Amino acid sequence: MRTTISFTLDDLASLASDCRRCPLAGGRTNLVFGEGNPHADLMLIGEAPGETEDQTGRPFVGRAGQLLTQILKSVEIERSEVYITNVVKCRPPGNRVPTKAEMEACWDWLAAQIALVNPLIIVTLGNTPTQKILNTTEGITALRGRFFAWKGGIEVFPMFHPSFLLRNPSKKKGSPKYLTWLDIQAVKERLEVLRSRNRGS
């Protein structure tokens, strides 16, 4: 007799919950694993938890998170449809950028999340996740707004980080906000194309 054992995101989250793989563990209130639809077509990856996220244990719930929710809403994507996480699961002191070693220590969690969710598209938010996922040192301004073929047929689409948009609130033509509102439309359209292809196959 064969038994099927399925390993879920919840199992992964409980394994991660007492992670001590890097020194960020020592400063956390809560580990912020990720949340959303475990079978999402769209996965979003940020940099690291901020203060509100550390306090609540949930990704993108502070000011940047509220802006992210609005960006998604502008193309009728609900947060509950997508899966949201970060490159590192614990808050760096003073919100500094996570170090290479911290991102390396945390990589297995993210890789397993991606494998379990198996999205059609990954949106990377800002330099940190974009450079980590695409293994490049190129900046977000050069990379955003394009689809990159990634492992397992997944497409990666870099966008500006919502915190960067909070610091650059202009909406005039060509501004980061203006470009972001175009970018999310491109994501929505591409999702529809990829979904209809999947249904056809």
Where do contacts with ligand URA occur on this chain (CB under 6 A)? 46-50, 53, 59-60, 62, 64-65, 86, 126-127, 140, 160-161, 163-164
- 37 versus 163: smaller Cβ distance to ligand URA: 163
- 95 versus 185: smaller Cβ distance to ligand URA: 95
CB of 141 to ligand URA, least distance (A): 7
CB of 167 to ligand URA, least distance (A): 9
**Sign, CA torsion 73/74/76/81:** negative
Widest CA span in the chain: 64
What is the number of other CB atoms lying within 10 angstroms of the CB of residue 145?
17
CB of 198 to ligand URA, least distance (A): 29
**What residue type is assigned to position 191 of the chain?**
L
CB of 35 to ligand URA, least distance (A): 10
3-state secondary structure of 190: helix
What are the phi and psi torsion angles at 85 (to 5°)? -150, -170
- 123 versus 194: smaller Cβ distance to ligand URA: 123
- 2 versus 167: smaller Cβ distance to ligand URA: 167
The rounded Cα 92 to chain-centroid distance in angstroms is 17
